[in-house]
Amino acid sequence: MLQLKNISKNFGGLQVLQDVNFNVPQGGIFGLIGPNGAGKTTVFNLITGLLRASGGAIEFDGQDIGKVAAHKITERGIARTFQNIRVFKEMTLLENVVVGMHDHMDYSFGSVLLNLGGYRRIEAQARERALELLSWLRLDHKAHMLADSLSYGEQRKLEFARALATKPKLLLLDEPVAGMNPAEKTELMEEILNIKQRGFSIFMIEHDMRFVMGLCDRIAVLNFGRIIAEGSPDEIKNNQEVIEAYLGKEDSE
Ligand SMILES: Nc1ncnc2c1ncn2[C@@H]1O[C@H](COP(=O)(O)OP(=O)(O)OP(=O)(O)O)[C@@H](O)[C@H]1O
């Protein structure tokens, strides 16, 4: 579904990614892990059009998206959440999700003027859909509360609902359980599995190994800007180079 082909990225003289190749398959959960500073967020920024690669190609559904603008990439079906939470705290949960939908709603200024009934119907459908998305994350009972009243973990989940509002084929999650307590992590695991079962493909960056190993069908490991391993969670857990990258050569015993 999403293919990175020989991707490299330099910031001035600093080579952050080198010959990165992997394929995120349709319908599953793919994980990208690696030590701090390995280049994981840079990969997400390249895929979502926030940065341009220095070399190589990125294809989504067989089409080159390497030069496509960020908002157009969302239109093509890729949505993301960020490491730092970006919800509108002074708006209700429902409003937060409806805002995420607006670019994709089927009305123009003219049609609103000519057809107020149609506009109201579309708005009502949007609110209904937003409630459904909130229910996927078990936040529907708080739909009319301000986002500011949510715990940190709940705000992260609200971000997911908002990303889903753009009807993505592929959902990119940047450290989804950062800052969550163990109970919230367990809940989110179930919710992400449910989202997968609804037909969404998921690609996540995550440091929490229990979460990554428990959820992902396949995992790629990035170390100093290079992919050093790719495989099933069991293959990754037992890969000597991966163990050394995380623990350091000396301590790997
Ligand atoms: N805009 C930039 N300009 C210069 N260097 C950058 C820029 N963005 C990232 N880097 C550098 O690129 C390297 C990779 O950063 P990146 O954030 O992609 O790593 P990461 O694997 O996501 O790390 P973490 O797990 O800590 O979030 C780091 O050395 C970082 O300092």
Instruction: Residue 40: count other Cβ atoms within 10 Å of its Cβ.
Output: 23
Indicate which residue's Cα is closest to atom 4 of ligand 1. Answer: 11
Closest ligand 1 atom number to CA of residue 51:
1
Q: Say yes or no to pLDDT of 6 above 80.
A: yes
Say if residue 104's pLDDT is above 60: no
Superfamily holding 1-68+170-188+201-253: P-loop containing nucleotide triphosphate hydrolases (3.40.50.300)
Q: For the residues 132-142, what does the mean pLDDT come to?
A: 96
**Rounded distance between C-alpha atoms, residue 99 and residue 96, angstroms:** 5
Residue 111 has pLDDT above 60, yes or no: no
Which of 7, 20, 40, 50 has the most ligand 1 atoms within 8 A of CB, as the residue to mutate? 40
Q: Residue 146 has what pLDDT?
A: 96
Tell me the CA–centroid distance for residue 122 and ligand 1, in Å.
Answer: 41
Give the C-alpha distances (Å, rounded to integers) separating 99 from 38, 81, 194, 237. 34, 15, 23, 40
Domain ranges across the chain: 1-68+170-188+201-253, 84-167
**What residues are in contact with ligand 1 under a 6 Å CB criterion?**
11, 14, 16, 34, 36-42
The model's pLDDT over 70-79, given as tens digits with 9 standing for 90+, comes to 989 998 999 9
The DSSP code sequence of 126-175 is HHHHHHHHHHHTT-GGGTTSBGGGS-HHHHHHHHHHHHHTT--SEEEEES
pLDDT in tens, 10-61: 999 899 999 999 999 999 999 999 998 999 999 999 999 999 999 999 999 9
What is the 128 CA–ligand 1 centroid distance (Å)? 39
- pLDDT value at residue 112: 56
How high does pLDDT run on average in the chain?
Answer: 90
Please provide residue 3's backbone torsions phi and psi, each rounded to the nearest 5 degrees.
-125, 130
In which band, very low, low, confident or very high, does the pLDDT at 85 lie, cut at 50, 70 and 90? confident
Q: Quick check: helix, strand or coil at residue 124?
A: helix
Q: How confident is the model at residue 69 (pLDDT cuts 50, 70, 90)?
A: very high
- Measured from the Cα of 38, ligand 1's closest atom is 21
Q: Higher-confidence residue: 112 or 66?
A: 66
Task: Choose which CATH entry (3.30.390.10, 3.40.50.300, 3.40.50.261, 3.50.50.60) describes domain 84-167.
Answer: 3.40.50.300
Higher pLDDT, 115 or 198: 198
Q: Is the pLDDT of residue 240 over 80?
A: yes
- Those residues with Cβ within 8 angstroms of residue 81's Cβ, 6 or more apart along the chain or in another chain: 156, 159, 160, 163, 171, 172, 173, 174, 176
Is residue 115 predicted with pLDDT exceeding 80? no
Q: Which residues pair with 109 in a beta bridge?
A: none
Tell me the per-residue pLDDT of 165-210, one tens digit each, with 9 for 90 and over.
988 999 999 999 988 899 999 999 999 999 999 999 999 999 899 9
pLDDT of residue 252: 41
Domains 1-68+170-188+201-253 and 84-167 share a fold: yes
Q: Give the pLDDT score at 52.
A: 95
Tell me what ipTM this predicted complex has.
0.94
Q: Specify the pTM.
A: 0.89
